[in-house]
Amino acid sequence: MDPSRAQILAASSLLLFGTIAVILLTIPTVEIQETPAYMYGIVLDAGSSHTAMYTYRWPADKENGTGVVTQHSECHVKGGGISSYAGQQGAAGRSLEACLNQAMRDIPQSRHQLTPVYLGATAGMRLLNMTSPERSSQVLEEVTQTIRSFPFGFQGAAILSGKEEGAYGWVTVNYLLENFIKYGFIGQWLNPGRQTVGALDLGGASTQITFATQEEVEDEDDHMTLRLYGQDYSLYTHSYLCYGKAEVLRRLLAHLLTTQGSTGMVYHPCYPSDYNETVTLDQVFDSPCTQALQPTAYHPQASVSLQGQGHYQYCLGNVSQIFSFQECPFSQCSFDRVFQPNISGNFMAFSAFFFTHSFLEKNTGNSISTPDQLLQAALTVCSMTIEEMSKSFLDQRSFLKDYCASGVYMQVLMLRGYHFNAHSFPRVAFQKKIGDASVGWALGYMLAVSTLLPGESVVLRKALLPGAWLCLLLLLVLLIASVLIFMALNVCRRKNCNG
């Protein structure tokens, strides 16, 4: 091509690009909806032993029907769980006020009325509802009145089923581990293609096991399907009421009183040998979990003296009798006639699992990642006196008497109950938090209910139609190509490329 013709071609391309660009910029535009930066939500986790408030936030534009939720702040309510205030007029509601006031400070004032608040009560309220539906309803009504007095969008106070508690805990774990989605370099949410992680939760009144499985779940009550980020997940989940840490300790004590007698001195094999205390019978038997063991001649205020023995084998034998391993109406069971498919993959254990495991590790100075190490750690703790443990854990003195029983219970539950073994137990991670977020059911619940939240009013801005942007891009490519041809021909002319 003649160099002069190439120059004319390049100049013509540049002129054409400029002309069409001007035309495209003047044609009608489309209105793009631009949402505000963040929405907020509050979940009150009303457990059996205490209530925790978690504040979450997520971009107002949601991905695949599920909000991208992160923990913004948290607050732990002083005192016991809301079920402990049954019969105390207004006390359950008043206990929440300090944390709700903190939420007022944590969330921008302009968002207060747009922030939904949910209260979910777990096993403590499930037990109260079993024994006294009227008192349970009264507690829920009192916390409702308190929350409604704050300028948030109250969405309800409800008692979660054990199935929901387990499933939402599983969602939390896998969301925080980014097993559902990850953020791509071009600003898109992508499927990371990773396997999900099972969830093990140990509360005060119940414990939950939840994991994804491809096996048939023979008991439909333990099966749940969740859809998150455009994908379906088939879950096995079961909640064992009365198998939370506090209720197991109570059931163990009731068992000892039943076998040794509820008067005089009772020897507790799991208590340290230098520990003794006196308890009243209502402290032991005033629970749906122990009422079946209540003595025939029951005097609630009668007292009984407890003397620790610090004997691991006796402790193990008595804790094991709380479970029932004999009968199974399915092809396979965990315990208490409950079906459980084979466990597989990795798991995360949190709540009281984490605290018990952490104490055992710190007390023995050794890592606990195998069944033998768990057994040895429990054996070591059970042989220690209160004074020996207090040297390292003086701030936990009031809880030290229970760590032998808690360690033995975790051993029986995980190894004999859930069937973790030398291969699968090392794949359990014991954690309290992932990043800045606490592990529990509350975040999973917020992820689920955020799909139901109405969208905010949007701000509009002008923008080109997608087709117009495509035309501009093609013209830009043509212009660059013309310039490159022009430069190449100039080089050739200087070097007499044309001969």
Per-residue pLDDT tens digits for 66-89: 667 889 999 999 999 999 999 999
Which tokens go with 325? 């391993």
**Residue 144 phi, psi (nearest 5):** -65, -45
- Distances, alpha carbon 33 to alpha carbons 441, 452, 465, in Å: 33, 20, 13
Dihedral over alpha carbons 430, 435, 436, 442 (to 10 degrees)? -60
Q: Please state, in angstroms and rounded to a whole number, the distance separating the CA atoms of residues 37 and 358.
A: 39
pLDDT in tens, 401-438: 999 999 999 999 999 999 999 999 999 999 999 999 99
Helix axes 123-131, 133-148, angle to 10 degrees: 130
Is residue 311 within 8 A of residue 382, CB to CB? The reply is yes
Answer whether residue 486 shows pLDDT above 70: no
Answer whether residue 465 shows pLDDT above 70: no
Q: Mind spelling out the 3-state secondary structure of 50-67?
A: CEEEEEEEEECCCECCEC
pLDDT average, residue stretch 350-364: 95
pLDDT band, very low/low/confident/very high, at 234 (cuts 50, 70, 90): very high
| Maximum C-alpha span of the chain | 120
Which tokens go with 71? 């923990």
Answer whether residue 92 shows pLDDT above 50: yes
pLDDT average, residue stretch 186-199: 73
> What pLDDT does residue 456 have?
45
pLDDT average, residue stretch 163-170: 95
> Of 279 and 451, which is predicted with more confidence?
279
Conformational region of residue 107, where left means phi above 0, alpha means psi within -120 to 50, and beta covers everything else: beta
- The percent of residues above 70 in pLDDT, for the chain, comes to 79
> What pLDDT does residue 186 have?
45
> What pLDDT does residue 62 have?
62
How far is C-alpha 104 from the geometric centre of its chain's CA atoms?
A: 24
Would you kindly state where each structural domain of the chain is located, as residue ranges? 3-29+464-494
> What pLDDT does residue 22 have?
57
- The percent of residues above 90 in pLDDT, for the chain, comes to 67
Is residue 246 within 8 A of residue 204, CB to CB? The reply is yes
Q: Please state, in angstroms and rounded to a whole number, the distance separating the CA atoms of residues 319 and 285.
A: 17
> What pLDDT does residue 470 have?
64
Indicate the average pLDDT of the chain: 86
> What pLDDT does residue 464 have?
46
Which residue in the block uniquely carries the two structure tokens 């660059």?
Answer: 480
pLDDT average, residue stretch 29-38: 56
Answer whether residue 36 shows pLDDT above 90: no
How far is C-alpha 463 from the geometric centre of its chain's CA atoms?
A: 41
Cβ-based neighbour number of residue 395 at 10 Å? 8
pLDDT average, residue stretch 469-494: 66
pLDDT band, very low/low/confident/very high, at 467 (cuts 50, 70, 90): low
Q: Mind spelling out the 3-state secondary structure of 287-326?
A: CCCCHHHCCCCCCCCCEEEEEECCCHHHHHHHHHCCCCCC
Is residue 121 within 8 A of residue 131, CB to CB? The reply is no
Q: Sign (positive/negative) of CA torsion 320, 322, 325, 326?
A: positive
> What pLDDT does residue 360 have?
96
pLDDT band, very low/low/confident/very high, at 118 (cuts 50, 70, 90): very high
Which residue in the block uniquely carries the two structure tokens 């990371």?
Answer: 192
Low-confidence winner among 18-22, 111-115, 353-357, 438-442 (lowest mean pLDDT): 18-22
Answer whether residue 185 shows pLDDT above 70: no
Residue 289 contacts by C-beta under 8 Å, 6 or more apart in sequence? 127, 205, 241, 242, 247, 250, 251
> Could you report how far apart the first and last alpha carbons of the chain are, in Å?
13
Active site residues: 165
> What pLDDT does residue 460 have?
37
> What pLDDT does residue 455 have?
45
